């Protein structure tokens, strides 16, 4: 599917900070913090290059409450067509409570936004492609 947007779409992409205490199994799948960040950045740049307005925020799990407040404030103050939530929050069992909290904040404040869940660092582009029709 080619990405052709008919209007300027705005996305919030949020996930777990790449320097969080991530299990070895996750690191073996997705790489070092630098490799994970490079994959995230490349995806976000590719998404911006085709015309999307992207706001990105990584939640520091040691400061989860502050991260949730940031997400809540951003969602309250700006329009977003879609919210993409990263796999670090969803796939790491110790982050389940934080994942639930992020989903709850997003659902409460932007119930009409398209909710998307990537398959891992470096898959935001694929996730966007899969959801493009719903975004437009």
CATH label of the domain that carries residue 49: 3.40.50
Is residue 47 assigned to a domain? Answer: yes
Instruction: Give per-residue pLDDT as tens, 77-112.
Output: 999 999 999 999 999 999 999 999 999 999 999 999
Indicate the pTM of the whole model. 0.92
- Total domains in the fold of the chain: 1
In Å, how far are 1, 7, 90, 116 from 14, measured between CA atoms?
24, 22, 11, 10
Q: Please give the residue range of the domain that contains residue 109.
A: 10-135
Is residue 79 assigned to a domain? Answer: yes
- Across 15-44, b (16+ Cβ under 10 Å) vs e yields bbbbebebeeebeeebbeeeebbebbeebb
Q: Is the pLDDT of residue 115 over 90?
A: yes
Is residue 5 assigned to a domain? Answer: no
Is residue 3 assigned to a domain? Answer: no
């Amino acid at each position: 599917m080619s990405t052709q947007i008919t209007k300027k779409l705005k996305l919030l992409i949020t996930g777990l900070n790449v320097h969080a205490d991530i299990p070895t199994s996750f690191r073996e799948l997705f790489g070092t913090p630098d490799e994970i960040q490079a994959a995230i950045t490349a995806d976000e740049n590719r998404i911006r290059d085709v015309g999307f307005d992207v706001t990105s925020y990584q939640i520091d799990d040691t400061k989860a409450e502050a991260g949730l407040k940031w997400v809540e404030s951003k969602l309250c103050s700006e329009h977003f067509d879609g919210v993409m939530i990263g796999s670090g929050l969803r796939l790491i069992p110790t982050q389940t409570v934080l994942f639930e909290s992020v989903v709850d904040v997003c659902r409460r404040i932007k119930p009409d936004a398209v909710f998307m869940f990537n398959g891992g660092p470096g898959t935001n582009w694929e996730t966007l492609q899969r959801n493009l029709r719903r975004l437009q």
